[in-house]
Amino acid sequence: MEVRKINPITVLAFTANVTLKDLQQFVRVKARELYTDAVQSNLEIAGPVYWVYYGMDGNPQTEFKLEIALPVISGENYTGKFCIKKYEPFKCISSVHSGSWGKLPVTYGNLFREISEKHFTHSGECREIYQHIDFVQEENNLTEIQVGIQ
């Protein structure tokens, strides 16, 4: 786990207000749509898919904002069905999670424990960057988790 400052990035983004039980409907769907739209719009893809959570507290009933985003070089003339956004600099504590996404809560728990021990304040934003996705052999998944701090 390390404290990092992430530089600004431009993304092609899908946004929805959801609860935890709503997330599954977007897996393998929205990322594919973002990639397709980026290619059809002649956008240069600049990184892996992000899932960004604003205000998620772990309670299955809590509604929060979800963004599924694909980094792109520029979106100046973009006219597709998603939106172009610029993520501002982001201070976070991060860790790479290797393996099944079902075990992500353990990694999040470790990150939040470190935030508490170091007396940081959580910003309310978390990011998951899907560096390697393997739906057949979940132990091959590689996901960077970034928890925003102030």
pLDDT per position in the chain (150 positions), as tens? Answer: 899 999 999 999 999 999 999 999 999 999 999 999 999 999 999 999 999 999 999 899 999 999 999 999 988 889 999 999 999 999 999 999 999 999 999 999 999 999 999 999 999 999 999 999 999 999 999 999 999 999
Distance CA 98, CA 80 (A): 34
Phi-psi region of 145 (alpha: psi -120 to 50; beta: other; left: phi over 0): beta
Distance CA 13, CA 68 (A): 6
Beta-strand relationship, 122-132 and 83-87: unpaired
Positive or negative, the Cα torsion across 103, 33, 146, 72?
positive
pTM: 0.94
What the chain holds in terms of domains, given with CATH numbers, is 2-149 (3.20.80.10)
- CA diameter of the chain: 47
